[in-house]
Amino acid sequence: MTEMKRIDLALEKMKEHGFKYTKRREMLLSFLAEADKYTSAKEVYEYMSQQFSGISYDTIYRNLKDFSDIHLLEETEWDGEKKFRFHCDHHEMGHHHHFICTNCGATREIHMCPMDYFKEQLAGCKIEGHRFEIFGKCENCLVV
Q: Which residues are annotated as a binding site?
A: 95, 101, 104, 130, 138, 141
Q: What is the DSSP letter of 36?
A: -
Helix or strand run (H / E) with residue 136: strand 133-136
DSSP 44-113: HHHHHHHHSTT--HHHHHHHHHHHHHTTSEEEEEETTEEEEEEPP-HHHH-S-EEEEETTT-BEEEE---
Binding site for Fe cation, by residue number, is: 95, 130
Contact 67, 27 (CB under 8 A): no
Binding site for Zn(2+), by residue number, is: 101, 104, 138, 141
